[in-house]
Chains A and B, each alone.
Chain A
């Protein structure tokens, strides 16, 4: 049972445009959500997170939106840059399970120059 789902395995965007990566979850006990970026031959790098008490968190070019009623979160990258090309994973954890992250299957983002 995949509790965290990223239904788009890949996404291609033009440089300078917005990239929107989506993630759905099924477990209503999740209360903390994170996005990671992964380049080939490297470990995942933490990007941004959001607590369930918020619906938006912004950090520079990266914004995460959380819609609890829809059990959906999204990562917006604007403007997209070629260096953003990587696999993006969303992850979630629940109360009493801090740091025990459940990951989605990832979305490969390609930003075209």
Chain B
């Protein structure tokens, strides 16, 4: 497995602002993903963070709203732009293993007022 650190662990933000979440992994990994867990709901994949190229977004998620960076094999950021209360969620960074498992960071709990 890998040790995955996310910052911030939680934040309270005002409507209309943006917040960048950082994800640091203790080893080089090929596959990194960003998930969202809205209150009382399941985990939903936002995008695959590709090293050296644009992220691949899932249906319902767009780059303008959730820009992602992946400058190297150990680090990625997710920005939640122009936030509204509907963006209040836990945002989770994960890394993929060749065997198919995902390992997750502790998550970033975002509350938008």
Binding site for B on A (CB under 8 A): 4, 32, 34, 41-46, 49, 89, 91, 93, 98-106
- A42 CA to B90 CA in the complex, in Å? 10
The binding surface of chain B is classed by DSSP as strand
Please give, as numbers and ranges, the residues of chain A lying within 8 Å of B33 by CB-CB distance.
99-100
Interface contact B42-A105, CB-CB below 8 Å: yes
Please give, as numbers and ranges, the residues of chain B lying within 8 Å of A49 by CB-CB distance.
99-101
Q: A103 touches which one: B31, B43, B107 (CB < 8 A)?
A: B43
Please give, as numbers and ranges, the residues of chain B lying within 8 Å of A46 by CB-CB distance.
1, 101-103
Q: B100 touches which one: A42, A45, A89, A93 (CB < 8 A)?
A: A93
Interface contact A42-B107, CB-CB below 8 Å: yes
The answer to the question of B45 belonging to the interface, with a C-beta cut-off of 8 Å to chain A, is yes
Interface residues of B in 17-43 (CB under 8 A from A): 31, 33, 41-43
7 more A-B residue pairs beyond the given contacts A42-B107, A99-B31, A101-B45, with a C-beta to C-beta distance below 8 A: A34-B101, A41-B106, A41-B107, A44-B104, A46-B102, A98-B100, A105-B41
- A93 CA to B100 CA in the complex, in Å? 8
Please give, as numbers and ranges, the residues of chain A lying within 8 Å of B41 by CB-CB distance.
105
Nearest 6 interchain pairs by C-beta: A99-B96, A43-B104, A103-B43, A103-B42, A105-B42, A43-B106
